[in-house]
Structure 1
Amino acid sequence: MTNFNLDGKVALITGGCQGLGLEFSRALASAGANVVVTSRDERKAQASADAIRKETGRDTLGVVADVTDFAQIQAVVEQAVDTFGRLDILINNAGVNVRKPILEYDEQSWDLVQTTNLKAPFLCAKAVVPQMIKQKFGRIINIASMLGTVALPERSAYCSSKGGLIQLTKVMALEWAEHNITANAICPGPFATDMNQAVINNPDANQFFLNHLPVKRWGQPEELTGLMVYLASDLSSFMTGSAIVIDGGWTSE
């Protein structure tokens, strides 16, 4: 089990201050990694970094950044490397969803979802990978979705962005394998996060989801952390280009 130890590693988690991102940040720090978390909210970034540091004893850095802005991401990478000397793990977690029927979907909402969910991971990888190539080691973990493999009504932008992210992950895996850099995607199903509270609080919508879940419940964020630590660790060195679905059995139907 010592191979799961992330001592000496440094992880950057975009959107790492709430929901699944915060759970991922805590898990990686608990496994020994120093973590850099980003948010658009300075107080939230700092508070999350402080809380993770107190809980795990690891060094942390809370940074304000818009992950859709390449210059800002480059600045985050430079700050992380200046602070810790390296950057080993990139978790592309920041995401957004706007639910509307296609005929009511405005261009601004479409661009917001695509830019945040698909363009931002592309930009973050471009900023981080040159450092990983220097180190001859890297782990890229993209947070996609089961909706990158199956569809739901009123999620046209979200489904297409997450499907695109799965394909982008595969290209990353092919291009950077020779540098000892792996790229994999985690595809969560329905998890009880802030993003999904509107669905959970709607009795009809909630029941629709429960009817499609063989386990008859929503997932809890901590149920993703074992896979996260594995993909970030040395044990996953032969695994790249994969998209792993954790969805309570939804896509098994």
Structure 2
Amino acid sequence: MSLNTFNLDGRVALITGGCQGLGLVFAKALAEAGASVAVTSRDEAKASEGARQIREETGQQAIGLAVDVTDVEQVQRMAAETVQSLGRIDILVNNAGINVRKPILEYDEASWDLVQSTNLKAPFLCAKAVVPFMIKQAYGRIINLSSMLGTIALPERSAYCSSKGGLIQLTKVMALEWAEHHITANAICPGPFATELNKVVIDNQVANQFFLNHLAIKRWGNPNELTGLLIYLASEASSYMTGSSIVIDGGWTAQ
């Protein structure tokens, strides 16, 4: 296989939550592989800054869009503006996510709904908005960011585990429904990575040690260690792979 199959020249990628943390790392990686990118944030200033960083660091075309990915009208506008500005959408990375940690008996309905809307409803809405464009061009790559906690559980993560497990199942349905249009759908399931979302755990000595004890590699992951899989799933190299969920977790779920 030629390494050219990993090349994304001429492709356009849309990354939700692509202006910080894993999302920004993903957006830069896709741009470095040759893609033009659109990144989103609820905050317009963050969206503009994320796009500016990508343009300056990679030399690729990048736009930032202020979007609440749980709002159907904003999501539809996001897809239309991306196509208007960049010409097409080849790759959708549903990265935006949130976690609220509470015991089930203390979990309020508003927190539950927020996690489910952001982690599960939003990928559903974004795919619905983007896939019609992919169908017209008979090509697409959907990459959903699930979690190892979509396959196993931890205390105080009821909403998060439920949403990420649901996203794995949604990915499979997407794969089955859209395969005939040459659109693939796969999920990346990260384990413990050193991101802003996990800072509350990393900064807690007891919780951090609990995590380290369960990691065969005995350290948190670096976000850049996810980009190889991301580029594979976004490229021609993964053309026969769809409906899969791949765990990258330092060996946690191997035990």
Does the alignment reach a TM-score above 0.5?
A: yes
Match of 1:22 in 2: 24
Match of 1:194 in 2: 196
Match of 1:40 in 2: 42
3-state SS, counterpart of residue 12 of structure 1: strand
Residue among 116, 130, 134 paired with 1:132: 134
Distance 2:79 2:159 in 1: 28
Distance 1:86 1:35 in 2: 11
Match of 1:245 in 2: 247
Match of 1:64 in 2: 66
Match of 1:11 in 2: 13
Give me the CA root mean square deviation. Answer: 0.4
Per-residue deviation, 1:70: 1.0
3-state SS, counterpart of residue 47 of structure 1: helix
Residue among 54, 76, 89 paired with 2:56: 54
3-state SS, counterpart of residue 121 of structure 1: helix
Unaligned regions of 5+ residues in structure 2, if any? Answer: none
Q: Deviations over 1:174-213 (max 9, x none)?
A: 0000000000000000000001011001000000000000
Match of 1:236 in 2: 238
Where do 1:189-228 residues align within 5 Å? 189-228=191-230
3-state SS, counterpart of residue 109 of structure 1: helix
Distance 1:161 1:236 in 2: 26
Match of 1:177 in 2: 179
Q: Deviations over 1:97-120 (max 9, x none)?
A: 000000000000000000000000
Distance 1:204 1:177 in 2: 45
Per-residue deviation, 1:83: 1.1
Per-residue deviation, 1:34: 0.2
The runs of at least 4 aligned residues of structure 1 exceeding 6 Å deviation read: none
Distance 1:108 1:79 in 2: 31
3-state SS, counterpart of residue 102 of structure 2: coil
Per-residue deviation, 1:219: 0.2
3-state SS, counterpart of residue 142 of structure 2: strand
3-state SS, counterpart of residue 184 of structure 1: strand
Q: TM-score, normalised by structure 2?
A: 0.99
Unaligned regions of 5+ residues in structure 1, if any? Answer: none
3-state SS, counterpart of residue 163 of structure 2: helix
Where do 1:53-202 residues align within 5 Å? 53-202=55-204
Per-residue deviation, 1:131: 0.1
Give the residue type in structure 1 aligned to 2:19. Answer: C
Per-residue deviation, 1:67: 0.2
Give the residue type in structure 2 aligned to 1:197. Answer: K
Per-residue deviation, 1:30: 0.3
Q: TM-score, normalised by structure 1?
A: 1.00
Alignment length (residue pairs): 253
Give the residue type in structure 1 aligned to 2:245. Answer: A
Per-residue deviation, 1:234: 0.6
Q: Deviations over 1:198-231 (max 9, x none)?
A: 1001000000000000100000000000000000
